[in-house]
Amino acid sequence: MKAFGVTERMVNRALSFDSDSELARKIRHTARMKGGWIEASVPEEEIFYDVTENGMRLMRQYFSNGAVLEANMTTGTGIILFKGSKRKDYSKVYLSEIPSMQEYAKAL
């Protein structure tokens, strides 16, 4: 606070990224130079890659609400399950569609 002549509140706003002014960027830079680090809070969603006995390659993503996104990388198909029941079926999954599939699964 003394180095920049600012209040504790300004330092807190800068370090929590509530402010993106030039002064806030300088405060964050100085904090990193003095041994600070950036932490991020991200949603916990696990993705598992599996190969079945018959050679099918699967990607499964489990969401905290009980939804599961399953993409068959061998056939290109996909499904979204919610608490064990099928909610949506995809006959051809493109990489560009996966974010919208994830949003749908999260919203269930």
Instruction: Give the pLDDT confidence of 19-62 residue by residue, as tens digits.
Output: 999 999 999 999 999 999 888 776 677 889 999 899 999 999 99
The answer, yes or no, to whether residue 85 has pLDDT greater than 90, is yes
Could you give phi then psi for residue 99, rounded to 5 degrees?
-60, -40
Residues 34 and 58 in one domain: no
Residues 14 and 29 in one domain: yes
Question: Alpha carbon of 61 to those of 23, 36, 44: distances in Å?
Answer: 41, 33, 11
Instruction: Give the pLDDT confidence of 4-18 residue by residue, as tens digits.
Output: 999 999 999 999 999
Put simply, whether the predicted model's pTM sits higher than 0.85 gets the answer no
Residue among 35, 37, 13 nearest 25 (CA): 13
Residues 9 and 55 in one domain: no
Residues 12 and 59 in one domain: no
Question: 89 lies in which domain range?
Answer: 46-107
